[in-house]
Amino acid sequence: MNDPATINTDDILLYKLQKYLPWFYVSIDTVSLIIHSIIAIFSYIFYGSIIVLLIKNRKNKLFGTFFYYCVILNGFVNIFFHLDNFFTSVLLSYEPFLEKVAPTEPNYWYAPLYYIGFFFTHFLYYNIFIISVNRMVMLTWPLKVNHIFENKKKLFTIFGILIAGIPHLYLLVTPAYFSISSSIYTNNKNVGKFINVMWNGVEELPLKITAINCGIFTIATFLVNLFNIYLLMKKGHKKIKVVVVVIVHYVNKNKQPQRTVHSSAVGESSLP
């Protein structure tokens, strides 16, 4: 491992900017916080508007479907996930906030907060996969959508909660805490981390489980969406063929009487 004192920092972008804008890196945490906050505010407004719109129209046959139910659920989970990440990750790079919350001793009271972040992550991947499967069934067996999805909304939700919640239940019995660290890559400024105390030998277990679980859902969702694109293109080609056949039939139908009239005219002119 390289000694931090011997690491060349000339190629680090922030250090280059600091040479020309001395004030830039000093307030980079504030700038970052402002940017994240602006994005969050607009995101919450958009998500909230969509959720309210869908809930108001839930009695509508279209907006009351399983697809829009999952969209509403996805919106709620996304908002809560972002709030959790904002307070346990983004704000930890903002020193005024960091000084108030860190460092702390490992505590079991922080365990649910640490656990919930993994839960939201897994549930979002699961929910997006289910939305893709729902679209696939709609394209392949439209008459079976109600039987498979519409009457089993609660069942799919409970199943998603179990898939997202069970893999990391052990985190509820591992203490978590806020720590402070600094390095040459942060210009020796304090940054915070929200971590937990794992058992010896399995320190990377949470990340490994997340990588496997989310990796499986990512690949599965990608494959299902590829199949959905194929089905849409196939249906599009069929529609194009139908349109071409209709046009040809229409043209031939309009031409046929003209030939008949022409033949009759010729026949009449040949009579004595």
Q: What is the pLDDT of residue 234?
A: 78
Element (H, E) at 178: strand 176-181
Q: What is the pLDDT of residue 21?
A: 62
Report the CATH number at residue 126.
Answer: 1.20.1070.10
Chain position carrying tokens 């026949």: 267
* Tens of pLDDT, residues 181-204: 777 766 677 778 888 888 888 888
Please list, in sequence order, all residues whose beta carbon lies within 8 angstroms of the beta carbon of residue 117, skipping any fewer than 6 positions away.
81, 84, 85, 88
Chain position carrying tokens 């930890």: 92
Q: What is the pLDDT of residue 263?
A: 41
30 vs 38: CA distance, rounded Å: 12
Contact 190, 180 (CB under 8 A): yes
Number of residues written out for the chain: 272
Contact 176, 106 (CB under 8 A): yes
Q: What is the pLDDT of residue 92?
A: 80
Positions in the chain short of pLDDT 70: 1-31, 62, 185-187, 236-272
* Tens of pLDDT, residues 38-58: 888 888 888 788 778 877 877
pTM given for the model: 0.72
Q: What is the pLDDT of residue 79?
A: 85
Q: Which two tokens stand for residue 80?
A: 């809560």
Residue 214 belongs to domain spanning: 4-269
152 vs 144: CA distance, rounded Å: 12
Q: Which two tokens stand for residue 114?
A: 């640490």
Burial label, 101 (beta-carbon count in 10 A; 0-12, 13-18, 19+)? middle
Q: What is the pLDDT of residue 131?
A: 92
Q: Which two tokens stand for residue 258?
A: 């003209």
Q: How many domains does the chain have?
A: 1
